[in-house]
Amino acid sequence: MVPSHTWHWRALIGLTLLTLAGGFLLPRIAVAPDLQEKRVLAARPETPTGPGGLNAYRKDMDAYVADHFPARPYLIGWLNAARLPFGVSGSERVIIGRQGWLFYDNDTHLGAVRNDPPFDAAGARQALYFLAGRTEYLAQRGIRYLVVSPPQKEALYPQMAPSWFKASPGRASMILPSAARAAGAGEILYLHDSMKGPAATSLKLFSRHDTHWSGLGAYYGYVGMMNRLKAMGIGDGPRPQQDFQAKPMTPWGPRDLSLMLGTSSFVKHDYQEYSDRPTEGHLRTTYLGQDASWTGPQIVDTGLAGKPVLMMGRDSFSNALMPFVYSHFSKLILTHNQDGTWREDLINRYHPDVVIMEVIEGGITPSLADGPQPSAAARARIDAVVKARFPS
């Protein structure tokens, strides 16, 4: 007979051993939910050489065991799937909005669209100075310059964001385009205006489970961009949507936010991507370095002689955008913004007809932080506009 004062300890030990055994057996009998936390898991710590390192070793080993426990993806995915309907997130990088919509948190709690920290005169002046400096430098060489900025998900669908969220009309993406026009500093195209009409009748311009716009959202962004380029004397305007082919939907499509939560395997991903098969079949890509991924500097020849040459610095929103763009240019010089948003070396080497900086709205100001200095006349116009927009 087990003494009454010890049975519960034995039961606890048995349950613990059973749980651990189940954790190691689970991967052999069930498929793990897809999980990509976008963080580096704890590494196995080095064995301490003396008693002084035991405390740190214990903490590091705890972290290592927790991160590499075989049942961990199952526990995270199942728990977060259970919490999702209640608006509770299991990741510090994911905010859960209304109707299961997910939003990316870069530690500012959607601050770029809430205007937190507030956009001020100093930030506006710096961005407009460098915009003017780049525009003037390129104009002297017969090259057009355009900043193209897709809206962030919460800016286009604020009704799907959490109840505490409120988009601010004073954020940089709302102030800078009109200020740039008023000061004659250059062209900033915030694509919110091109997309808000379609977004009012469709929730499919963004995927609810991904940070990025869908192929449909990218199409409307493309329409806005090509119309602006046409007005600047570049290209022939956008093509109709029926010119492009919808790609089959796959389980591994755009879903970065649900992957961070581990809920990707438990939700339906509704998105649409497009291609331009006739054009893409003739593309020839030459990489300018060792990086042969989409982020690597590259030259894309389309084989379409007589069309303009585009140089574009871009972020991940460009992936859905590029299929719509290829047919308008004979050559594209593509770089990633992580390698610099002002590539004077490539401009002078390839002399494109137009340079575009494509950057999500929260990145406009930090991306306009270097380049040639503007003329004294441009500085004076910018100072006057900034003073009028930000009265002290």
Per-residue model confidence (pLDDT) at position 67? 52
Provide CB contacts within 8 A for 80, sequence distance 6+: 89, 90, 91, 261, 262, 263
Per-residue model confidence (pLDDT) at position 306? 94
Residues 116-153 have pLDDT tens digits of 999 999 999 999 999 999 999 999 999 999 999 999 99
CA 158/CA 166 separation, integer angstroms:
7
Per-residue model confidence (pLDDT) at position 223? 98
Per-residue model confidence (pLDDT) at position 19? 56
Per-residue model confidence (pLDDT) at position 60? 64
Question: Does 117 sit behind a cis peptide bond, omega within 30 degrees of 0 on the bond before it?
Answer: yes
CA 114/CA 102 separation, integer angstroms:
17
CB-CB neighbours of 61 under 10 Å: 14
Per-residue model confidence (pLDDT) at position 150? 98
Per-residue confidence at 96, pLDDT binned at 50, 70, 90? very high
Is residue 2 pLDDT above 60, yes or no? no
Residues 343-375 have pLDDT tens digits of 999 999 999 999 999 999 999 999 999 999 999
Provide CB contacts within 8 A for 202, sequence distance 6+: 216
CA 316/CA 188 separation, integer angstroms:
19
CA 103/CA 97 separation, integer angstroms:
7
Is residue 175 pLDDT above 70, yes or no? yes
Per-residue model confidence (pLDDT) at position 340? 96
Per-residue model confidence (pLDDT) at position 317? 97
Per-residue model confidence (pLDDT) at position 253? 74
**Which residue in 206, 236, 214, 211 sits closest to 223, CA to CA?**
236
Is residue 38 pLDDT above 80, yes or no? no
DSSP-based three-state secondary structure for 215: helix
N-to-C CA span, the chain = 84
Q: CB burial class (10 A; 0-12, 13-18, 19+) of residue 135?
A: buried
Contact between 153 and 96 under an 8 Å Cβ cutoff? The reply is no
CA 353/CA 326 separation, integer angstroms:
15
Span 220-227, mean pLDDT? Answer: 98
Per-residue confidence at 98, pLDDT binned at 50, 70, 90? very high
Q: Which residue has the higher pLDDT, 164 or 32?
A: 164
Span 10-20, mean pLDDT? Answer: 59
Residues 375-386 have pLDDT tens digits of 999 999 999 999
Q: CB burial class (10 A; 0-12, 13-18, 19+) of residue 278?
A: exposed
CA 362/CA 368 separation, integer angstroms:
12
Antiparallel, parallel or unpaired: β 245-246 and 274-275? antiparallel
By mean pLDDT, which of 82-91, 114-123, 189-198, 335-344 is the weakest? 82-91
By mean pLDDT, which of 29-38, 46-55, 194-203 is the weakest? 29-38
Residues 233-275 have pLDDT tens digits of 999 999 999 999 999 877 667 888 988 888 877 777 788 899 9
Averaged pLDDT score across all residues of the chain = 88
Per-residue model confidence (pLDDT) at position 81? 75
